[in-house]
């Protein structure tokens, strides 16, 4: 894609939550997210590739580009697990390989699960404080409902 095509695409895309999308030289730069910037070479990228990366960057911040940028299949997949759903997920360190947790966020490919270790729960019972929470991303086939 040429620099002028990149500029036109960048101008047409939404920029939610104060995220920035701009061209710097031959690079298309995505910035403002909690894990830092991400860039692509405009010369070797297509408009579809830039859009896919921008969509992923935005969703990784817990935001969305809106319904115009979501396919019906993806939105149906993401809707099957909702934040707060009780699940179990595969874990090598868990008894029988499955650990209980709670869905924090679901994407078409992965699910972010919050969980506590047994010793965190026991410590919380003894001290009266809430248990320490941990999070992990799991592939959809590594998660099942409780």
Looking at 19-33, 49-63, 65-79, which range is the least confident one? 65-79
Domain span(s) for CATH 2.30.30 in the chain: 77-145
Among all chains, which residue has been given the structure tokens 């874990």?
A: 91
- What's the CA gap between 112 and 101, in Å, rounded? 10
pLDDT at 1 > cutoff 60: yes
Region 24-43: what's the mean pLDDT? 92
pLDDT at 79: 53
What's the pTM value of the predicted model, to 2 decimals?
A: 0.51
Looking at 60-64, 87-91, 137-141, which range is the least confident one? 60-64
Closest CA to 9 of 57, 44, 63, 54: 54
Are 135 and 114 within 8 A, CB to CB?
yes
Q: Which CATH architecture has domain 77-145?
A: Roll (2.30)
pLDDT in tens, 102-132: 999 988 889 999 999 989 999 999 999 999 9
% the chain with pLDDT above 90? 49
Among all chains, which residue has been given the structure tokens 């499955």?
A: 98
Are 69 and 59 within 8 A, CB to CB?
no
- What's the CA gap between 131 and 122, in Å, rounded? 8
């Amino acid at each position: 894609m040429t620099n002028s095509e990149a500029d036109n695409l960048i101008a047409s895309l939404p920029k939610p939550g104060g995220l920035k999308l701009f061209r710097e030289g031959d690079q298309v730069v995505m910035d403002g997210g909690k894990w830092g910037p991400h860039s692509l070479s405009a010369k070797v990228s297509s408009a579809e590739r830039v859009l896919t990366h921008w969509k992923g960057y935005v969703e990784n911040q817990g935001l969305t580009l809106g319904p115009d940028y979501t396919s019906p299949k993806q939105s149906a997949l993401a809707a099957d697990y909702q934040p707060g759903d009780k699940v179990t997920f595969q874990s090598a360190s868990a008894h029988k390989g499955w650990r209980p947790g709670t869905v924090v966020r679901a994407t078409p490919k992965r699910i972010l699960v919050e969980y506590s270790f047994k010793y965190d729960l026991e410590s919380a019972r003894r001290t009266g404080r809430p248990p320490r929470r941990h999070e992990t991303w799991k592939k959809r086939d590594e998660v099942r409902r409780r």
